[in-house]
């Protein structure tokens, strides 16, 4: 039998409403190039990744032009124009579209397009940690802040114990057949690990990095650029 391969799948069909920009946030300029291109370059440069698939909406008017200017990605990245209204649907649509390219035991690394701070070292850390894992897992960070639960009036009603709490990141890495089956059975979920957990399985937590945060609000842009320019 051939050893399992590793593929990246990037759902990028969102509109980035909270950023309030003129284009979807995955295409906004960041440290000299579109945000999504940072992520694609990182996966393309990793010798551990067989190929990268990016899932965009059928009406996407940006990705073709961006990839036309990035010829070095021509053989490393494929675009799937079948994104859905949610991350859950986009990932599942993408998995269905690549069925003929993957074996059931191949690994799929699902990564947020809006986490441009991913590095090759983080990919390697995740792949090495999960190489022989029966379930799979995800990058995450232990919660270090004191957590408060608010009441309906925006007041601190309770302090939540932070022990054993982790903040999920991506990539989230699972074998193709397991991930597809989990997402097909799950109700709406916000990450792949939730769908796998719903099967009664326990994904492994692999420590990530603060630089691998999700760009969500306008003030996140400056911090992301500092990381990408090597100033933090």
Q: Is 1 part of any domain?
A: no
pLDDT of residue 216: 81
| Structure confidence by residue, pLDDT tens digits, 104-125 | 999 999 999 999 999 999 999 9
Q: Which of 232, 228, 230, 191 is nearest to 29 (CA)?
A: 228
Asked whether the predicted pLDDT for residue 141 surpasses 80, the reply is yes
Contact indicator for 46, 109 with CB cutoff of 8 Å: no
| pLDDT of 18 above 70 | no
pLDDT digits (tens, 9 = 90+) for 58-89: 999 899 999 999 999 999 999 999 999 999 99
Choice among 30-34, 44-48, 103-107, 149-153 with the minimum mean pLDDT: 30-34
CATH assignment at residue 172: 3.90.550.10
Within-domain flag for 156: yes
Write the DSSP assignment of 157-197 as a string of letters.
EEEEP-TT-EEEEEEEEEEHHHHHHHHHH--S-SSHHHHHH
Strand 51-55's sheet: what is its strand order? 77-80, 51-55, 6-11, 107-110, 166-175, 137-142, 204-207
Position 188 in a domain:
yes
202 inside domain: yes
Residue 63 included in any domain: yes
Tell me how many domains the chain contains. Answer: 1
pTM of the model: 0.93
Q: Using pLDDT thresholds of 50, 70 and 90, give the confidence band for residue 14.
A: confident
Quote the domain boundaries for residue 80: 6-228
């Amino acid at each position: 039998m051939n050893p399992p391969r590793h593929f990246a799948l990037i759902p990028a069909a969102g509109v980035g409403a909270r950023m309030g920009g003129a284009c979807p946030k995955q295409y906004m300029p960041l440290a000299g190039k579109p945000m999504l291109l940072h992520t694609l370059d990182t996966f393309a440069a990793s010798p551990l990744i067989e190929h990268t698939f990016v899932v965009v909406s059928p009406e996407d008017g940006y990705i073709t032009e961006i990839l036309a200017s990035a010829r070095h990605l021509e053989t490393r990245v494929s675009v799937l124009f079948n994104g859905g209204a949610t991350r859950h649907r986009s990932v599942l649509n993408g998995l269905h579209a690549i069925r003929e390219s993957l074996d059931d035991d191949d690994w799929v690394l699902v990564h947020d397009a809006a986490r441009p701070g991913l590095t090759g070292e983080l990919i390697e850390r995740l792949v090495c940690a999960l190489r022989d894992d029966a379930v799979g897992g995800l990058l995450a960070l232990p919660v270090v802040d004191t957590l408060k639960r608010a009441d309906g009036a925006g007041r601190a009603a309770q302090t939540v114990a932070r022990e054993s709490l982790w903040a999920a990141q991506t990539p989230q890495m699972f074998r193709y057949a397991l991930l597809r089956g989990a997402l097909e059975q799950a109700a709406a979920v916000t990450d792949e690990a939730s769908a796998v957990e719903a099967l009664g399985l326990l994904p492994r937590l692999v420590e990530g990095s603060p630089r691998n945060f999700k760009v969500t609000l306008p003030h996140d842009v400056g911090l992301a650029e500092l990381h990408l320019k090597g100033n933090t």
